[in-house]
Amino acid sequence: MDEKVKEAIYAAAGEEPFAVQLGMELKELSLGSSTVEMIHRPLTMNNIYGRAHGGAIFALIDEAFETACQTHGTIAVALNVNVTYSASPEPGARLRARAIERSLTRKTASYDIEVTDADTGQTIAFCQALAYRTGKPIPFVETAESVESRQETE
């Protein structure tokens, strides 16, 4: 995986307002895969039954999917995400979403994503997701030319 792309994705994920609000942290990134973690905070992430809201778990899945999709250096967006919830995490559980690329074409890529309790290994949710690959370069990846140009103006 290109190091500039990797650094740019780590930086962008670390500043993404929604991910920051939920306390998500990008832990691992390699070509076609990503691991993201967050703590299940019941006060802000529970549903009306006092259990983890599916939207909070989906958000973690989507962050792993989003970051894994971008590792080829081009913009990719979600076409379809199919989630199966299998268990509710305990309050305070460290949730880990791992996205793994299963197929890649010029226009699409498919991913398997699993959310587990990082401490017990229990599966919380699993997912199959399909991305559309635009072919356009990721705009926040700083090229050597742009660094050089910026340094000349400083």
The CATH architecture assigned to 3-153 reads Roll (3.10)
- Given pLDDT bands bounded at 50, 70 and 90, which one contains residue 152? low
Task: Tell me the pLDDT tens digit for each residue of 21-64.
Answer: 999 999 999 999 999 999 999 999 999 999 999 999 999 999 99
pLDDT of 146 reads 52
Task: Tell me the pLDDT tens digit for each residue of 94-104.
Answer: 999 999 999 99
CA atoms of 94 and 116, how far apart (whole Å) = 8
Nearest to 83, CA basis, from 101, 95, 68, 97: 97
- Comparing 62 with 145, the larger pLDDT belongs to 62
Task: Tell me the pLDDT tens digit for each residue of 8-17.
Answer: 999 999 999 9
Rg of the chain (C-alpha set): 17
Kindly list the distances between the CA atom of residue 132 and the CA atoms of 51, 69, 76, 77, 106, in Å, as whole numbers in the listed order: 33, 9, 5, 5, 9
pLDDT of 92 reads 97
- Given pLDDT bands bounded at 50, 70 and 90, which one contains residue 142? confident
pLDDT of 144 reads 43
Task: Tell me the pLDDT tens digit for each residue of 66-81.
Answer: 999 999 999 999 999 9
Kindly list the distances between the CA atom of residue 56 and the CA atoms of 90, 146, 149, in Å, as whole numbers in the listed order: 13, 37, 41
Nearest to 93, CA basis, from 70, 126, 61, 115: 115
In the chain, where the domains are located: 3-153
* N-term to C-term CA, the chain: 30
